[in-house]
Amino acid sequence: MQYHDSMQQIAAYREQIAGLRRKMREVQVAVEPEPVTDYVFATPAGPRSLSSLFGNKRDLFVIHNMGTSCAYCTLWADGFNGLYQHIADRAAFAVASPDPPDVQQGFAAGRGWRFPMVSHQGTEFVADMGYRSETGGCLPGVSAFQRDGARILRVADTGLHPGDDFCTLWHMLDLLPEAAAGWGPKFGYG
């Protein structure tokens, strides 16, 4: 297929995707929020409740990260780090993983991450949010919460996976004829 014809066809698909996104927003606006427990997480400064992660914001994103053992989760977190100041202007944001706080802190410092991190180790947070695997491990995802007085409501969630909307690298690679061509993220390049 000629370049121009291919790009027109791809542009038409992008318009279809934009239409689906509008429909998704309509459904999202109508979602009945789900009340959740005010979980307590571990941090280097001591215990920290889910409610405290909101700070002075009404909205909060919590990233379900599999921790230092997952290069894919590290890739997403690297991307969120670049967006963090923009996200934090609109909503509170934190990354939760099963790693102990000292491990999180060292890993985050080595990568230059600026966002807050909490450890959900020893809590039912991951299981209750639906991000526990059948084998007992963690799954990657994001949950969106709102504060309603003293109540905490989950208003949305979605899993993270290669090719999703939350990591632009996959979409960049899709512009190449072979796309990712078997490539996977690494903890370091060099």
58-80 pLDDT, tens digit per residue, is 999 999 999 999 999 999 999 99
User: Is residue 143 a contact partner of residue 156, using CB atoms and an 8 Å limit?
Assistant: yes
Residue bearing tokens 């459904």: 27
For Cα atoms 49, 53, 58, give the angle at the middle one, nearest 5 degrees: 120
* Cα 158 from Cα 143, distance rounded (Å): 7
The string of pLDDT tens digits covering residues 96-111 is 999 999 999 999 999 9
Q: How far apart are CA 154 and CA 61, in angstroms?
A: 10
How far, CA to CA in Å, does 33 sit from each of 22, 30, 85, 146?
Answer: 20, 9, 26, 9
Average confidence (pLDDT) per 10 residues, the chain, 190 residues? 93 96 94 97 97 98 97 97 97 98 98 98 97 95 97 97 92 93 94
